[in-house]
Structure 1
């Protein structure tokens, strides 16, 4: 299989590596630190989220690790397949490549957290709200770009805005060898 979009895949590897290196350094040296970044709002305050997801934590659902691993793996696969579908349908697109790099990196980092860290090592505290990490920022960059594209009525988004997109995507997945 020939790798398309090498820059995109290098970006994915880079984003995942940065996130994991930061977590390894924090876990080894700074786990017990509480450092103001922009007081009184933003702090460096590492914690392990053993609830595995924001929804599980906020709603106290009690959903276990293996279900979260399964969900993260399926979501990562669907993100990859949808990216592949978009490349097939509209061709290689720089904006889609950037968005994919962020959301796929975030999804894989989430899977890595659940498999290897038994939760998420979150380290940036938004006082009074929640604590997050770099993967959460990756996913939010993707969401922000998606919102901007929608507000700007970007032609890239118009090319994929189709009533039959879910049906076409399902057909694409089922045709894959």
Structure 2
């Protein structure tokens, strides 16, 4: 049942997000909607079931697996470096016509968040600082959370995937002047591997919320503050002496 539940959570979250996009964009073409609702939902559902199997094989702890982060970051950057070496502006390959395309585009807005907020002209330095601070705070909150709740595969998976996505975003903006996105879901948006990592991080945290019943009881995980951050950061150096 757990496999089926997680399949449903991953698939259902995608379908809920697409419903919002469909309404926001006013899509009325049913054939398009069937494709962008169903295909990614099935893929994500299968991923959710596979990750559930991985949960049984992997024992989570508080240590960050930097080797995995570096490997995933390297994969993300290798794809972009390869594409930058091509005449990528002319590439448009149907994956599942007429919705899914391999269609590279250079997003210089820094983040889809800025596009949504109408802040496409945010400079590189403020963006990098914002992403770095956000990643640091989420990492520290996860460290705090693990002092209150059991360390789980889903919680650790969330922080690792988010860190990969954040690091890739920083590298993109510093070295490439923005993100080279390449998978398009028409008529909505184009994304890349790091966006997939962040989406997976969101789904992982959703499973964690369900498993830990955080929607019912979360009083015990309050109290995250600057004092905890200072103490935790200090502990890194004490342990490494």
Residue 71 (structure 1) aligned with residue 130 (structure 2): yes
TM-score, normalised via structure 2 length? 0.63
Over the aligned positions, Cα root-mean-square deviation in angstroms equals 2.6
Q: CA deviation at 1:36?
A: 0.8
Equivalent pairs counted in the alignment come to 171
Report the Cα distance in structure 1 between the residues aligned to 2:139 and 2:117, rounded to whole angstroms.
29
> Which residue of the other structure, out of 63, 66, 72, is the alignment partner of 1:5?
63
> Which residue of the other structure, out of 94, 114, 130, is the alignment partner of 1:36?
94
> Which residue of the other structure, out of 77, 82, 86, is the alignment partner of 1:20?
77
> Which residue of the other structure, out of 136, 158, 162, is the alignment partner of 2:218?
162
Deviation readout 1:106-133 (Å, 9 max, x if unpaired) = 1111111111111111111111111111
Structure 1 runs not aligned, ≥5 long? none
Residue 174 (structure 1) aligned with residue 230 (structure 2): yes
Residue 134 (structure 1) aligned with residue 199 (structure 2): no
TM-score, normalised via structure 1 length? 0.83
Larger relative contact order (Cα-Cα within 8 Å, sequence gap ≥ 6): 1
| Most deviating of 123-132 and 163-172 | 163-172
Q: Which has the larger radius of gyration?
A: 2
Q: CA deviation at 1:42?
A: 0.7
Residue 53 (structure 1) aligned with residue 111 (structure 2): yes
Q: CA deviation at 1:79?
A: 2.4
| Most deviating of 55-64 and 109-118 | 55-64
User: Is the 2:165–2:197 Cα contact (8 Å) retained in structure 1?
Assistant: yes
